Amino acid sequence: MKYLGPAALTAYAASITAANVLTARYGLVPVAPGLVTTAGTFAAGAALLLRDVVQDTLGRAAVLCGIAAGAALTFATSPALAVASAVAFLAAEVADMAVYTPLRDRGWARAVLASNVVGAVVDTLLFLLLAGFPLTAASVGGQLVGKLAWATALPVAAVLTFRQVRRVVPRHSLGT
C-alpha cells in the first residue's frame, strides 16, 4: 500500500500526457453515434479518477505536481495543448476538489462520481475552447460521454465490484 501514492501520481501525470499526445496526433474521433471527442478524452477521464487517488494518498499539493509534470511532458509534443491542458486541469482540479473533499467521508464512489461530473464539465469546456476545438453539442457531448461513461463510471463500477467480491470471498481463497 505504501507504493500506491507514487504509482497513482505517476499514472496521473502519464494519463495527462497521454491525453494530450493522443489529441495532438488524432484530433477529434467518434465516440458514439453523432458524438465526437478528442482522442485523448479517455486518458483525460482516467486522469480525473486518478486525481482523487493522488489526493487521498499524497495530498493536494501532489495533484498540482502531477498536473505540472503532465503539462511539461506534453510541451515537447504541443506547447499549445500543454497550456490548454494545464489551465483546464487546474480549473477542473479546483472544481473537483471543492466537491470531492467534502464528500469523501460519505464514501469513495459517491465522492468520485460527483466530483468527476463537475471536473469533467469544467475540463471539457475550457480545454476545447483553449485548444481551438469547436464547442458544439457533438464535441461537448462526446467529451462528457468519454470522460463520464467510459473513463469514470466503468472503472468505479469495477472497483466497487472488486471490493464486493473481496468482502464475500474469504481472503485465503483469493490467494492472499
Domain spans, the chain: 4-174
Q: What is the pLDDT of residue 174?
A: 56
Q: What percent of the chain has pLDDT over 70?
A: 95
Determine the average pLDDT of the residues in 24-34.
93
The topology (CATH level 3) of 4-174 is Arp2/3 complex 21 kDa subunit ARPC3 (1.10.1760)
Lowest model confidence (mean pLDDT) among 37-41, 82-86, 168-172: 168-172
Mean pLDDT of 65-88: 92
C-alpha cell at 142: 462526446
3-class DSSP assignment, residue 35: strand
pTM: 0.82
pLDDT value, residue 163: 81
> Distance (Å, rounded) from C-alpha 36 to C-alpha 33?
8
Which tops the pLDDT comparison, 138 or 159? 138
User: CA angle 128-149-1, nearest 5°?
Assistant: 100
Beta carbons within 10 angstroms of residue 133's beta carbon: 20
Q: Which three cell numbers stand for residue 63?
A: 495533484
Residue 176's pLDDT is 55
Q: Which helix (H) or strand (E) holds 84?
A: helix 79-103
